[in-house]
Amino acid sequence: SALIDIAVIAGDGIGPEVTAEAVKVLKKVTASEGLSLKLTDYLLGAEHWLATGETLSEETIQALRGHDAILFGAVGAAPGDTSIPSGLIEREMLLKLRFSLDHYVNLRPSFLYDGVASPLAHPGTIDFLVVREGTEGPYVGNGGVLRKGTPHEVATEVSVNTAFGVERIVRDGFRRANERPRKKLTYVHKHNVLVYAGHLWKRTIEAIATEYPEVSVDYLHVDAAMIFLVTDPARFDVIVTDNLFGDIITDLAAAVTGGIGLAASGNINMDRTAPSMFEPVHGSAPDIAGKQKADPSAAILSAALLLEHLGHVGAASRIKAAVASDIAMRNSASPRATSVVGDAIAQAL
């Protein structure tokens, strides 16, 4: 039987709790589909750094490359924790993985499930996909500081955008839009202000649009996109955008679909030159860690995206259906423990 070889990085805070449930569901679904599952745990994250000094070594990256895919929980210390330099783990571990393994498609589906209360009064039908660029833009770590700590300090951040990088993500956006019934692609930028990067995006969209005559394309400035995300999210089908705008849009999208407890994501290398990584959009939430309070749905849905990426579409659909039916029966008045939710979803498969 086919072997699925997965690296598991549970991470910090609620990461291990929600990942345990995702693994529970993965085990159940693969067994019943006759697939063999091999899981290898990697200790990484803030706790691991405190214990060992490793953020993410070259050896670890090499080892991770040997797996089919990576299941990722969450990393990062509590906001006020001064024992860990702010942002260190996020940059030197999470982003380093995305960049090292060339995860250029940061895929974030947004779906309002039946039974979930949106903070919007009239949310309508929300079912769109954000295709966020994952390896360029303001995330490249380019920039610097001059005269640090003096009244003459100058700090710069450089957003780097390449034809190569923009083209592959735009192409991915068109391809996904073309596969969906509505075939609608919205690209989001701020090209009236960020002219250099913005016009590279604009020209690339216009060029690739000619290859997809059935896909209708529209453009929104990022500020206008904010408005539509709360006044008419049903208008979106596929959104393609840069790394930073995608970060901002997907948290808002998660919020309007009932919270980041349900939002899954894939960090995907479509060329398959390295394993892709699947993670909930939420962070490590140290304030509720260890209390079995976290909703494991986003982690479980991330496992479904993982199976989908590896070609096990049937297994992925079963997980998504089980999560949807569990969500439909939820009663917010009596929240269940993390593992109880995982059990229920595994049961419903």
Residues that bind ligand IPM (CB under 6 A): 90, 94-95, 192-193, 223, 247, 281
Site for a copy of itself in 226-255 (CB under 8 A): 226-227, 229-231, 244, 247-248, 250-252, 254-255
| Distance in angstroms (rounded) separating the CA atoms of residues 186 and 308 | 24
Q: What are phi and psi of 264, to 5 degrees?
A: -105, 160
Smaller CB distance to a copy of itself: residue 143 or 335?
Answer: 143
The three-class DSSP label of residue 337 is: coil
Site string for a copy of itself, 249-288 (x = CB under 8 A): -xxx-xxx--xx----------------------------
Q: Are 267 and 134 in contact (CB under 8 A)?
A: yes
Q: Which is nearer to ligand IPM, 179 or 223 (CB)?
A: 223
Q: Does 141 bind a copy of itself (CB under 8 A)?
A: yes
**Binding track, positions 151-170, relative to a copy of itself; x by CB under 8 A:** xxxxxxxxxxxxxx--x---
Edge-first strand listing for the sheet containing 216-221: 36-41, 3-11, 69-74, 276-280, 264-268, 105-111, 127-133, 238-241, 184-189, 216-221
Q: How far is the CB of 238 from ligand IPM (least distance, A)?
A: 18
Q: 194 touches which of ligand IPM, a copy of itself, none (CB within 5 to 8 A by kind)?
A: a copy of itself
CA–CA distance from 330 to each of 14, 113, 296 (Å)? 21, 11, 13
Nearer to a copy of itself, 20 or 244 (CB): 244
Q: Rounded to the nearest 10 degrees, what angle do helices 195-209 and 163-179 cross at?
A: 40
At 267 the three-state DSSP class reads strand
SS3 282: coil
Question: Least distance from C-beta 302 to ligand IPM, angstroms?
Answer: 12
Closest CA to 172 of 58, 270, 273: 270
Neighbours of 143 (CB within 10 A): 12
Q: 274: Cβ–Cβ under 8 A, 6 or more apart, which residues?
A: 65, 100, 101, 102
**Binds 129: which of a copy of itself, ligand IPM, none (CB < 5-8 Å by kind):** none
First to last CA, the chain: 20
State which residue, 29 or 74, has the beta carbon closest to a copy of itself.
74
- Options 104-112, 115-123, 291-299, 308-316: segment touching a copy of itself (CB under 8 A): 115-123
User: Alpha-carbon distance 219 to 187, whole Å?
Assistant: 5
Site stretch for a copy of itself (CB under 8 A), options 62-70, 101-109, 141-149, 284-292:
141-149
Q: What are phi and psi of 219, to 5 degrees?
A: -120, 140
Q: Is 291 in the site for a copy of itself (CB under 8 A)?
A: no
As measured in angstroms, the least distance from the Cβ of 88 to a copy of itself is 9
- Residue numbers annotated as active site: 139, 190, 223, 247, 251
Of 39, 15, 13, 44, nearest in space to 26 by CA: 39
| Residue placing its CB nearer to ligand IPM in the complex, 95 or 268 | 95
Cβ proximity to a copy of itself, 21 vs 247, nearer residue: 247
Q: Should residue 223 be labelled a site residue for a copy of itself when binding is judged by CB under 8 A?
A: yes
Residue 102 or residue 247: which is nearer to ligand IPM going by CB? 247
Exactly one of 95, 97, 101, 116 binds a copy of itself (CB under 8 A); that residue is 95
328 binds a copy of itself (CB under 8 A): no
Q: What is the distance between the alpha carbons of residues 145 and 151, in angstroms, rounded to a whole number?
A: 12
Interface residues with a copy of itself (CB under 8 A)? 76, 79, 86-87, 90-91, 95, 117-122, 138-139, 141, 143-145, 147, 149-164, 167, 190-200, 202-203, 219, 222-224, 226-227, 229-231, 244, 247-248, 250-252, 254-256, 259-260
